Structure 1
Amino acid sequence: MDARLDLFGSPNATGVLKHFVSAGKVISDSTLPAATQELVKIRASQINGCGFCTDMHTKEAARAGETAVRLNLVAAWREATVFTDAERAALELAEQGTRIADAAGGVTDEAWANAAKHYDEEQLAALVSLIALINAFNRLNVIVRQPAGDYRPGQFG
């Protein structure tokens, strides 16, 4: 299957994507743990049905040393024993932030308070920004039907 549109060949889209990538670099350089960042990107991408981003971030997480067991259990994180309480809080915030239209009021006070128990203000800012950014990437890729499966770790830097 081919993508409906070559985002990387469009000057307008490329300009936007450069800003997204730049924002992602700021987040990745934050004190929010790298493993948590990848788990959040994977979970949001799963929820949004973005095969391209799910492919990319599972491969990048594996390249960074994430275990196959944890990667295979991201979608079932509530039942899995392999995630820390902090990671669970981040995954809950990611799910609620991704499914923002599903609940009146968006993210619950409980989910926010739980995340705030584990992350300081700068980490929370990075986490919220990451959730917004991966959702934007997911939407771009889903809309153009960006195919999944061929991503090579390190492909984009």
Structure 2
Amino acid sequence: MPRLRRVPREEVADPLTAFFYDRLLTAGGTATGSPGDWWEVFALDPAILRHCVKGFQLYRKSALDPVLRELGQTRAGWARQSRFVYSQHCKQMRAIGVPEEKIRAVASWQVSTVFGELERAVLAYTDALVLDGGRVHDEVFAVLKKHLPDEQILELTYITCMYEMHATMARALRVEFDDREDPITEVPAPEGYGTRDIADELA
């Protein structure tokens, strides 16, 4: 379950929060199959929830091609290892007509042949933002500049970084599909192994 308290509907006083509860949440979660607890956790602070919703509205009005936007958002979810962000934006790519082969290839875009020059640059740029902390090679940026006006590059940067934040927060707070145990744990040694020093045996 999430690491923070989930606000029940009967405690919601903020009108906008109540609107989204009533519109999106049912006893079984959301229409996409997620538990819906992102909304219930973010309802702890209606000002933060309102700020997030404004961000969603901002990118829906962007001049940037929705396919490029979703490539950035989906890859950001994959790169930041957020099952929630990745899953939701695979669905959104499907909703705007992106072929299944491209959706599947987001995870391995580096060796895929299904993306065009600009799409590959968007995916490379996303990795530079998410995995390399904004260290972007000039050649990657040159392809973006070749195809997009500066305003749309700014939009792409802002939206992709916003979804890296959402992916990071989803994992940290364990909401939605990111409510899962860390897979990196010690595998116990067989019974009787004790405190042997394996380095001595390898030397």
Pick from 143, 147, 150: which aligns with 2:172?
143
Structure 2 unaligned residues grouped into runs of 5+: 7-37, 179-203
- Structural mapping, 1:95-134, within 5 Å: 95-101=127-133, 106-134=135-163
- C-alpha displacement of 1:28: 2.6
- C-alpha displacement of 1:12: 4.8
Correspondence for 1:8: 39
For 2:176 and 2:55, how far apart are their aligned partners in 1? 24
Correspondence for 2:189: none
Correspondence for 1:52: 84
- C-alpha displacement of 1:23: 2.1
For 1:11 and 1:98, how far apart are their aligned partners in 2? 27
Pick which of 27-36 and 10-19 moved more: 10-19
Contact 1:8-1:14 at 8 Å conserved across structures: no
For 2:149 and 2:119, how far apart are their aligned partners in 1? 14
Pick which of 119-128 and 77-86 moved more: 77-86
Contact 2:43-2:49 at 8 Å conserved across structures: no
Q: TM-score, normalised by structure 1?
A: 0.82
Query: Structure 2: which amino acid aligns with 1:129?
Result: Y
- C-alpha displacement of 1:4: 1.7
Query: Structure 2: which amino acid aligns with 1:125?
Result: L
| Identical columns (%) | 25
Contact 1:38-1:61 at 8 Å conserved across structures: yes
Larger Rg: 2
For 2:56 and 2:138, how far apart are their aligned partners in 1? 26
Q: TM-score, normalised by structure 2?
A: 0.65
Pick which of 22-31 and 66-75 moved more: 22-31
Structure 1 unaligned residues grouped into runs of 5+: 150-157
How many pairs were matched up? 145
- C-alpha displacement of 1:39: 1.2
Kindly indicate whether structure 1 or structure 2 has the higher relative contact order, using CA contacts under 8 Å at least 6 residues apart: 1
